[in-house]
Amino acid sequence: MAKFYCLALVLVLAFGLSSSVRVPRTRKHYVKFINNLNNKVLNVNCKNLNPYIDLNLHILLPKEEYEFNYNVTRSMAFSCDLRHGFTSSVFAVSDKVTKRDCGGNHCIWKAEDTGVYLLNRRTNQYKFKYGWGK
């Protein structure tokens, strides 16, 4: 009788595991910043409003990089504030246009003295996106 219960338990567990609801696969999006300014410090501060997420200030010395990632959901709308000296540029990094322009789920931004550039991973070329404001 004990063998019967063991066999029944094994069958129930096997059936239960095979018919369990699948967990939806989440996609990750990666954002990287490269300080390519001519001997200047770059301040990077990225935030999402709903839910509120502040990734805090990251100070990049010349040639340093900073990267973060997040799970793609409808509520994620990160924007980043890049500053050097008295100039800044604030822009969205998780909108559909940006994701399309970067050519995938890994967007690489490069700060230069002339502005902020985005790498298109399909063409492997940087494209000017934003100038520095006052």
In the predicted model, is pLDDT for residue 128 greater than 80?
A: yes
Tens of pLDDT along 4-19?
555 555 555 555 554 4
Is 99 a residue whose pLDDT tops 90?
no
Residue 53, domain CATH:
2.60.40.10
User: Is residue 68, in this structure, part of any structural domain at all?
Assistant: yes
What is the reported pTM? Answer: 0.78
DSSP 133: B
Q: Which domain holds residue 106?
A: 24-130
Q: What is the DSSP code string of 72-96?
A: --TT---EEEEEETTEEEEEESSSH
Does a structural domain hold residue 17? Answer: no
Torsion angles phi and psi, residue 2, rounded to 5: -65, -35
Count of domains for the chain: 1
Kindly state whether residue 9 falls inside one of the protein's structural domains. Answer: no
Please give the pLDDT value at position 68: 95
Q: Are 70 and 109 in contact (CB under 8 A)?
A: no
Report yes or no on 107 lying in a domain. yes
Q: Find where tokens 């940006």 sit.
A: 98
Residue 74: the pLDDT is: 76
Q: What pLDDT was estimated at residue 77?
A: 87
Q: What was the pLDDT predicted at 75?
A: 77
Residue 120 placed within a domain: yes
My answer on whether omega of the bond before 51 falls inside 30° of 0, hence cis, is yes
Residue 4 lies in a domain: no
Classify residue 19: in a domain, yes or no: no
Q: What is the mean pLDDT of the chain?
A: 85
In a domain, 12, yes or no: no
CA 90: distance to chain centroid? 16
Average pLDDT in the 30-37 region? 97
Residues 6+ apart with CB under 8 A from 18: none
Q: What pLDDT band is residue 92 in, cutting at 50, 70 and 90?
A: very high
